Structure 1
Amino acid sequence: MEPTVIEKAPRTPETIRVMEERHSVRAYEPGIAMPREDLDAILRAAGTAPSSWNLQPWKFLAIEDAALREKLLPIANHQRQVVESSAVVAVLGDLEGHRNAELVYGERVKSGAMSAEIKDTLVGQVERAYGSGTFARDEAFLNGGFAAMQLMLAAKALGYETCPMGGFRKDAFIEAFRVPERYVPLLLISIGKPAKAAHPSTRFPLEETVVRDTF
C-alpha cells in the first residue's frame, strides 16, 4: 500500500528568519537599559517551552543591576558581555521538578480538564521517575535547554541579541547569588543591543546532519 502524501504545510518565514539570523553576540552597546516589559516578554516566552509532564523544571535569575553584574564578571571568567549587555539571565534547572506536579495537575482538575484519577496516576509516574538514578539532573538539563533556546529566539524577535555562556564557575555563582540547593546553574545568557554585527557562523548541510530512517 502506497503511503499517503501529506500536503506541504505553509512555511513561517518570519520564525525561520529569526532562527537563521540569531548569532551569539559578545560586543554590546554599554549603558543601555532594557525596558522591564521587554525583559518580561522574553522571559514569559521562554516559559512557554515544552517540558516533560509540563513540570516546567526551570528558574530564571534575571540580573539587571549593574553592581551585581560587576560581581558576576570574575565568576564568568571576565567575559565583558556580562557587564556591557543590558541584562544577564541565569537559566537554572530544577532538580525537584516533581514538586510542581500537584500544582500543575491540581489546576487542571479544578478546571475540569482532568479527572482526579488521571492526576493521581501522573503524579505517581513523576514521583517514581524523579526517584530513580540521575533522572532529576538529566531532566533539569534537558528541559532547561529548551527554555534557554526559546529565550534567545524571543530576544532576537524583539530586536535584542544574546550570547549563551557555559564557561562560568558554577560553585562560585551558587554562593554569590545564594542559589538554593534545589537548582543547578545551566548557563548564563547576556541580552542587549549589539555594538557591532555578529560574525555569521557556518552550519553543516543537511547531508552531514540528517539520517533518513536508519543508519
Structure 2
Amino acid sequence: MPTGVAIRDARTQLFDAAERILLREGPSGLTSRAVTGEAGVAKGVLHRHFSDFDGFLAELVEDRILRIEARGVALLEAAGSATVAENLSEALTTVFETVAVAIVSLITFRDDLQTRLRARRPGGVPMLAEASTVVAAYLSAERETGRLSAAADIDTLAPTLIGAAHLLFADRTAARPEPEAVRRVVLTVITGALTA
C-alpha cells in the first residue's frame, strides 16, 4: 500500500487478516509479515498500532473474547425459550465454528502470548474460560426458570460442555460437525440435569 494513504480502522483490518491466516494456515503461519501482507498494508502499520507482534496477538485474543461475551448476552436472553439443548447447541456452534479453536491453538503455540494473557486473565485458558463463564451464566438462568434441576452442578456442566465442543470442532481439516452431532454431545452432558 502506498505511504500516505489513510487506512480506515486498521485494527479491524489487521485482526480480520490474522483470523483468515489462522483459519487457513494455523498458528505457524501467523507472522507480522503475513498479517500485513494479507491485510494489504505496509508492515509499519502493525507496529504503529501495537507495541510488538505479541501485543497485537494479545489484543486480537481480547477482541475475540469480547465477541464471545457479547454472544453470551444473546444466549442469556434465550433462557426459557426453545429447548436448553437447542440453545446450547447453537451457542457452542457459533463460538467454535469461528476462529475460537484456532485462537486456542495460537495461545498454546506462543509462550509469550500466553504469559501476556495470563497477566490479564489469570484463570484457565483464555477464550475457553470466558466461553465457560458464558455457558455457566446461561445454565444458571435455566436453573432459575426450572428447566434445570436445582441440584444441577453448573460449575461442572459448563466446562464439560466447552471441552466437549472444543474437541468436536478441533480438527480444522475435517468437515464441520453436523448439528446433530453437537446436539448429541450437549444432551449427553446435560440430560441428568434437565427437569421433566
TM-score by length of 2: 0.28
Q: Which has the higher contact order (CA 8 A, sep 6+)?
A: 1
Would you tell me which structure has more helix in proportion to its own residues? 2
Would you tell me which structure has more strand in proportion to its own residues? 1
Specify the structure having the higher radius of gyration (Cα). Answer: 1
TM-score by length of 1: 0.26
